[in-house]
Structure 1
């Protein structure tokens, strides 16, 4: 009798499963233009593809790339100008602060706890520059970007400025480690003050021997030098994986969103 009851229950479950809508959609084809700029489809399919493309970028799956897919120009613009970019950045900042507070409370900060920040698209937003340069749809022009840097009026990312001040309030040493070159030191300092940043411990820029090094090599070498000085690098915030990878790494690294460009 018991076996019959169990069999009846099993048959009922199988019947219900057969009648139910599948929870996971079967993927039978790669979205058009998943690896190129061509392809048709309407705005809905473009938005779906571009959202997935951006996930691939943020997770590092996309690998090196020089420009956003042509069909994603409007998507990237809407993302950067809309609420989602601000929200994604704010969540990353909140996670960073929660980790920092917990690490200090547990005594993991050491005698000289430090936090490393990248500058561009981490502390400062170059959205005004990219708004008139295709939001990443054009290949990087170093000359025009250097001219923009010299203007020294890039605004702060609000969530990063808030995190910066909160970390200072916890007694954490702030280190700025940027891929900008030494000749841009004055413009960078002026811009940081313009955007509201104050009282950093160090501002590290590329020196002549660093020219030609990848960002991973250059930044990991500088982190090693900081550790040799006695800093305990609790956290590292950057918009590129190359800001965060390489030994030594911070105790925790926090990736900020940036669908506009890639730096190796």
Structure 2
């Protein structure tokens, strides 16, 4: 941002010294007078335009209109950072969890133990924001090796609105299935991290095994939902931060998309 402001100032100075085509070389140049309020107004207009641009980009991401994409726009780094560590992200998480809770409370369960709510893990139950703070909030190309190193630490905190929803879902009598794209080799540390973060009960934890390596997330998760349906389960709720958590075959009766402008998983 500082570079852009300096560039704008330099451009204004250049225009000031070059607008007179017929100048007298024997006369001293006129003093440059820049009104501070004019410069500040132009800075503010530029900042407003950039903010609108990045807000539009984030809206398109959440609406799944930009798929696929690899990194956040470089010019939106400050915007994404402010959103993720500020009130905006927290309010959006609270809104999603609140709406999911209202839906769940108004459902009449069958009583046969076959009504299932699916939760994704990363950026749905557990937050990897500490990792992404160190990796540009999604500005860097995703590195699975570095990310797995972070996962192995087992330090991801709970997403508090999701924890509240999770506990309500269990109390209402739903079966809870955790369906994640994490590799099976991360199962023990995933269980440890979930437990430490407050997620102490679930009915199934489903991870990728070696046979599913390389499959698109939407294919892998669709297949697993299909297996649930074949076993007689009814998928009445599904919470995830990626569209690939929610779309595909055998979708939930109703799905809830959590915000995530940092990365996209097909």
Pairing partner for 2:261 from 214, 235, 259: 259
SS class of match (2:249): coil
Matches within 5 A, 1:20-35: none
Structure 1 residue 111 displacement after superposition: 4.3
- Stretches of 4+ moved more than 6 A in 1? none
Structure 1 residue 135 displacement after superposition: 0.2
Instruction: Sort the Cα spacing of 1:58 and 1:110 in 2 relative to 1 into closer, same or farther, 3 A.
Output: farther
Give me the whole-angstrom Cα distance separating, in 2, the residues matched to 1:161 and 1:210.
Answer: 28
Q: Which residue number corresponds to residue 100 of structure 1?
A: 104
Give me the whole-angstrom Cα distance separating, in 1, the residues matched to 2:135 and 2:248.
Answer: 31
SS class of match (1:236): strand
Pairing partner for 1:221 from 220, 223, 231: 223
Structure 1 residue 43 displacement after superposition: 2.0
Maintained 8 Å contact 1:175/1:200: yes
Unaligned residue ranges in structure 1 (runs of 5+): 1-40
Structure 1 residue 109 displacement after superposition: 7.5
Structure 1 residue 103 displacement after superposition: 1.6
| Residue 203 (structure 1) aligned with residue 205 (structure 2) | yes
Q: Which residue number corresponds to residue 132 of structure 2?
A: 130
Structure 1 residue 201 displacement after superposition: 0.4
TM-score under structure 2 normalisation? 0.81
Structure 1 residue 101 displacement after superposition: 1.4
Maintained 8 Å contact 1:109/1:234: no
Maintained 8 Å contact 2:218/2:244: yes
Pairing partner for 1:42 from 31, 35, 46: 46
Maintained 8 Å contact 2:113/2:175: no
Structure 1 residue 217 displacement after superposition: 0.5
Pairing partner for 1:241 from 230, 240, 243: 243
Q: Which residue number corresponds to residue 62 of structure 2?
A: 58
Give me the whole-angstrom Cα distance separating, in 2, the residues matched to 1:155 and 1:109.
Answer: 33
Maintained 8 Å contact 1:103/1:109: no
Give me the whole-angstrom Cα distance separating, in 2, the residues matched to 1:186 and 1:43.
Answer: 46
- Cα deviation per residue 1:18-72 (whole Å; 9 max; x = unaligned)? xxxxxxxxxxxxxxxxxxxxxxx82221111000100000000111000000000
Structure 1 residue 232 displacement after superposition: 1.1
Pairing partner for 2:82 from 78, 85, 92: 78
Matches within 5 A, 1:137-176: 137-176=139-178
Unaligned residue ranges in structure 2 (runs of 5+): 1-44
- Cα deviation per residue 1:47-103 (whole Å; 9 max; x = unaligned)? 110001000000001110000000000110110101111110111011111111112
Q: Aligned residues, how many?
A: 222
Give me the whole-angstrom Cα distance separating, in 2, the residues matched to 1:136 and 1:109.
Answer: 43
Structure 1 residue 113 displacement after superposition: 0.9
TM-score under structure 1 normalisation? 0.82
Q: Which residue number corresponds to residue 193 of structure 1?
A: 195
Q: Which has the larger radius of gyration?
A: 2
Structure 1 residue 145 displacement after superposition: 0.3
SS class of match (2:264): coil
Structure 1 residue 108 displacement after superposition: 6.3
Give me the whole-angstrom Cα distance separating, in 2, the residues matched to 1:44 and 1:175.
Answer: 43
